[in-house]
Amino acid sequence: MIHIKRLQEDGVDIIALIGEIDASSSIELDLAIAKSVGEGFSKILVDCNSLEYISSAGLGVFMSYIEEFKDQNIKMVLFGMNENVANTFEILGLNELLKIGKDKAQAKSMVNEL
């Protein structure tokens, strides 16, 4: 089960993920990101502070946006992952394809730098 909250700060869309992302709840994640893009945000932060678990399907959602974001010049930074979740990203090698910050402040500066 996943609960997704969105809030906007200084033109940056922050998507907070609360709970676990598995095969079925990954659809909600996909929808949330698609909605943010649809609303015209070019700077997206994903708050993973309360993300307890992410399955390969959830990682697939992030992965699927990589090319698209590159083409449309949309920046996305993930931050606040716990060790487990970070490990999952690392094993798959997604940490090399995605921008991952330590906390919100770092993520914000990353998203503005890029």
Partner 1 sequence: MRTKAIIRLLFTVSVVFWLALVLIDVSIVFSASNNLHSGLPSWLPNVVLDLFILALFFYYRLKFDRDDVLNFVDLLWRVFATGLVATVVSLVLKLIEYLLGSTRLTTDVVFVDLIYLINLGLMVGFLTMAFTAWKRLILYQKSKWLLRLWNFFEWTLLLSLLYNAFDFPFVEGLFWSMLSFFVVIGLVLSANMKWVAYLNFRQKWTSLLLLLLTIFYLLYISFTNSSIVEVLSGMTPEFTNYRFHVFILSLMTFVTVYSIFSFLVILFNLPTTSVFEQKLEEVVNFQRISQSIQTEQNEDSVYNILLETSVSTVFADAAWLEVKSGNPNAKLFTYKITERESQDIINHLKAKNVKGILDQGSDKTKNLSKHLATLKGCRFRSILAFPIYVKGENIGTLALLKELAEGFNREMTKIVSTFANQAGISIENFRLMEEALQNERYKEELKIAKMVQKSLLPEVLEKDSDFEIAAFSESADEVGGDYYDTLRTNDHRVSLIVADVSGKGTTAAFHMSQMKGIFHSLAQDCIKPDEFMCRANQALVYCLERGSFISATFFTINTHTKTVHYARAGHCPLLYYNASREKAEYFKDKGIALGMVKNRSYSNFIEANEFEYKSGDIMVLYTDGVTESKNDKGEQFGYDRLADILVEIHDLNPGEIQDHLMKRLYEFSGTTNINDDYTTMIVKFT
Considering only 2-10, 11-19, 82-90, 101-109, which stretch makes contact with partner 1 by CB under 8 A? 82-90
Could you tell me if 77 and 111 are in contact, meaning their C-beta atoms sit under 8 angstroms apart? Answer: yes
Distance CA 73, CA 67 (A): 10
| Residue 46 is a binding residue for partner 1 (CB under 8 A) | no
Considering only 34-42, 43-51, 59-67, 105-113, which stretch makes contact with partner 1 by CB under 8 A? 59-67
Residues recorded for the chain: 114
Integer CA distances (angstroms), 86 to 40, 78, 112, in order: 28, 10, 22
Name 16's bridge partners: 5, 47
| Residue 18 is a binding residue for partner 1 (CB under 8 A) | no
| Residue 112 is a binding residue for partner 1 (CB under 8 A) | no
Considering only 3-11, 35-43, 92-100, 101-109, which stretch makes contact with partner 1 by CB under 8 A? 92-100
Structure tokens given for 66: 């990589």
What residues line the site for partner 1 (CB under 8 A)? 23, 30, 53, 56-57, 59-61, 63-64, 66-67, 84, 88, 90-94, 96-97
